[in-house]
Structure 1
Amino acid sequence: MTGRPWQRRLLKWLRIAYLALLAAAVPVLVLARRDEVADLLGDLAGARHALVAASFAAGFVLIALSAYFWLVSLRILGQRPSLRDLTVTAARSLPARYVPLMVTFAISRVALMQRRGVPAAPLALTAALEMAVSLAVSVAYGLVLFGWAGELPGGLAIPLISAVGVIVAASPPVAGRAVAAVARWRGLDSLAPVSGFTWPGYLHMIAASACYWTAAAAVFCLYMRAFEAADGFGTARLAGAFVLTWGGLRFLSVIAPQGIGVVEATVPSLLGAADPLALGLLIFGFRLVLLLRDLLAAAVSELLAARRTPVEADPVQPSEGTEP
């Protein structure tokens, strides 16, 4: 978390207040719409459970894809960790996502990779880059999917132009120089190397993030296709709404941990759902599927980590910082 102490305390209490309000509001909404909720619960019995299981299983791929982004970034910054180390670290850090603070997941990954011999500065920069690039890619990708689905005026033309604009705005010559200037001004040495990123390295990170969001959208669509309530929506619309909200809006929802409540309300609105509450509850169910995945992945990764030798016997070897 960044910012002054009073800002961090204020944000912490705002997040706690938001969660308390959400916890109070959901039961009221469910009771007010109990007939619709009863119908939804009845539909769950006839759900395509094989698709839910497939979504659960496919969700583990996302852990490796997130680790791959870190691999790309760290190699550009001159480090040579293994993809296995990064994947195990990401899995071990998954429970930190459920702490109602800002960046506990990233902080946990940084701390665990430091124990594997990777310096703090490139790890901190990688964590910041993952959030920035993911935000740019998810917004751009979501717009393209919505344009492909015919949900935006002008078809694909405007979304493609917007997508290119977002990606260029986050590129090394634009955002990289701005971040480096702010880093020098604020004395944040860990962010200064961002100005050294080249277009090939940046495009590699864009591709890694795009692969992650493609897989994430597929996992979400697999889950939603298990329920009749989602049958009326095209795959491109479902995927576009998911990527825009889960990837874009979620990062901007600073007082809503993981965008909880925000995503559930926004996706049905973007899709024009006839029963937003029922669809929102189904989306919340997707969070439960991910929670089960996170618990299993964390448990297995802790067992793997316990069997490993200490890093001091085999430190990560730095390189010259060339592109991967």
Structure 2
Amino acid sequence: MDASSAKDALRRIVGAARWVFAPLALACLAFAAWHARDSIGATLVRAQPSALATAIALWTLSHAFAPVASRIVLGALGAHVRYRELLAIHVARLPARYLPGGIWHTVSRVADLQQRGVGRAELATMVAAENVLPPATAALLGGALLLGAGVARDASLVALAAGGTLLAAALALARQAVVRRRARLEPRSVLLAAAATIVFWSIAATAFAAYWLAFADLRDSAPLVAVAGVYLVAWAVGFVSFFAPQGIGVFESMAALFLAEDVGLADAAVLAAGFRVVVLAADAIAWAMLQAWRGWRRARAN
């Protein structure tokens, strides 16, 4: 089989897999909601509806900023995919987050972008950026918030050092690639993508703080700046814990360790786990909004 035939065969396989992948991802999203029904019920009963709705709305809004860093990276590499297209791909593939393994949202997005002609080198660089910049910026922003709140000073300094090291490594690799002409991603593009990621994390951390406010007995337990910082640092630790897909267990444990003094270890862990209900609801809403918009466009075209 020559190279052209192999590419055609691979393209057909990917196309067929996409038809199977979408319903499977939706089934896993529905299963995740069913599996979390007790947690959803407990959260709804205990939480103040307006604050909970605010948290869900903020996380839904955060999806609008999620593809910005990837748009900057791909644009710097010469792959000019429109932001609107990247956003549609990101939202359409949200159910894939709930497939076992925790990698399928990225895998499905890469397949979609390959279908649109984006090269392998550009996609590999995008994936690398998406795996370095989020934990780096979450650790930096979270550490800064904790330090500013005067909470967990040692942990905040560790987070700042870790985030700074990751970001410095990304800048060094980008500079080396430019010097050797293996890519056109310059350090300034890395910094722009990092800034875009910080905007995303600012919204996400605010969503967690709003979620925290939804529980009347927690409103005076810790400064909201510290709560937002705890979320970011705990998420960063969960992300780099490769043995735990999507940081499940690690994120909750880290958040509980920071917040246990205020609400108790067990209650803090349960509350941190409950935030996944907010994320699940926001993901489902964003996906449904995209489907409604696409349906409206099809109806208008006809």
* TM-score bin, normalised by smaller chain: 0.7 to 0.9
Deviation at residue 53 of structure 1 after TM alignment: 0.6
Indicate whether 1:294 and 2:283 are aligned.
yes
| Bigger mean CA deviation after superposition, 277-286 or 114-123 | 114-123
Alpha carbons of structure 1 residues 303 and 124: separation in structure 2 relative to 1, 3 Å: farther
Alpha carbons of structure 1 residues 272 and 202: separation in structure 2 relative to 1, 3 Å: same
Give runs of aligned pairs for residues 171-190 of structure 1, distance below 5 A: 171-172=170-171, 174-176=172-174
Which residue in 1 is equivalent to 2:257? 269
**Which string of whole-angstrom CA distances, capped at 9 and with x for unpartnered residues, describes residues 78-113 of structure 1?**
122111111111011111111221421111111122
Report the Cα distance in structure 1 between the residues aligned to 2:268 and 2:154, rounded to whole angstroms: 28
Q: What amino acid does structure 1 have at the position aligned with 2:174?
A: G
Task: Report the number of matched residues.
Answer: 257
**Which string of whole-angstrom CA distances, capped at 9 and with x for unpartnered residues, describes residues 193-248 of structure 1?**
2xx432321210110111111111011111111003432111121111100111x1
Deviation at residue 66 of structure 1 after TM alignment: 0.8
Higher relative contact order (CA 8 A, sep 6+): 1
Report the Cα distance in structure 1 between the residues aligned to 2:137 and 2:82, rounded to whole angstroms: 25
Report the Cα distance in structure 1 between the residues aligned to 2:227 and 2:50, rounded to whole angstroms: 19
Alpha carbons of structure 1 residues 44 and 86: separation in structure 2 relative to 1, 3 Å: closer
Alpha carbons of structure 1 residues 49 and 303: separation in structure 2 relative to 1, 3 Å: closer
Deviation at residue 267 of structure 1 after TM alignment: 0.3
Q: What amino acid does structure 2 have at the position aligned with 1:230?
A: L
Alpha carbons of structure 1 residues 284 and 155: separation in structure 2 relative to 1, 3 Å: closer
Alpha carbons of structure 1 residues 72 and 53: separation in structure 2 relative to 1, 3 Å: same
Alpha carbons of structure 1 residues 168 and 48: separation in structure 2 relative to 1, 3 Å: closer
Report the Cα distance in structure 2 between the residues aligned to 1:154 and 1:105, rounded to whole angstroms: 34
Which residue in 1 is equivalent to 2:188? 200
Report the Cα distance in structure 1 between the residues aligned to 2:164 and 2:271, rounded to whole angstroms: 34
Which residue in 2 is equivalent to 1:23? none
Alpha carbons of structure 1 residues 305 and 224: separation in structure 2 relative to 1, 3 Å: same
Of 207, 211, 214, 1:219 maps to: 207
Q: What amino acid does structure 2 have at the position aligned with 1:143?
A: G
Alpha carbons of structure 1 residues 283 and 133: separation in structure 2 relative to 1, 3 Å: same
Using the size of structure 1 for normalisation, the TM-score is 0.70
Q: What amino acid does structure 1 have at the position aligned with 2:274?
A: G
More helix by share: 2
Deviation at residue 132 of structure 1 after TM alignment: 0.5
Alpha carbons of structure 1 residues 67 and 217: separation in structure 2 relative to 1, 3 Å: same
Which residue in 2 is equivalent to 1:53? 53
Report the Cα distance in structure 1 between the residues aligned to 2:256 and 2:297, rounded to whole angstroms: 45
Q: What amino acid does structure 1 have at the position aligned with 2:265?
A: P
Which residue in 2 is equivalent to 1:278? 267
Which residue in 1 is equivalent to 2:130? 130
Deviation at residue 151 of structure 1 after TM alignment: 1.9
| Bigger mean CA deviation after superposition, 162-171 or 256-265 | 162-171
Give runs of aligned pairs for residues 1-324 of structure 1, distance below 5 A: 45=45, 47-153=47-153, 162=161, 165-166=164-165, 169-172=168-171, 174-176=172-174, 192-193=182-183, 196-231=184-219, 232-246=221-235, 248-273=236-261, 274-302=263-291, 304=293
Report the Cα distance in structure 1 between the residues aligned to 2:102 and 2:255, rounded to whole angstroms: 22
In structure 1, the residue corresponding to 2:64 is in which secondary structure?
helix
Alpha carbons of structure 1 residues 215 and 258: separation in structure 2 relative to 1, 3 Å: same
Q: Is the 8 A contact 2:140 2:160 kept in 1?
A: no
Identity percentage of aligned residues: 29
Report the Cα distance in structure 2 between the residues aligned to 1:254 and 1:126, rounded to whole angstroms: 19
Q: Structure 2 regions of 5+ residues with no counterpart?
A: 1-37
Deviation at residue 155 of structure 1 after TM alignment: 11
Using the size of structure 2 for normalisation, the TM-score is 0.74
CA RMSD of the aligned region, Å? Answer: 3.2
Deviation at residue 175 of structure 1 after TM alignment: 3.4
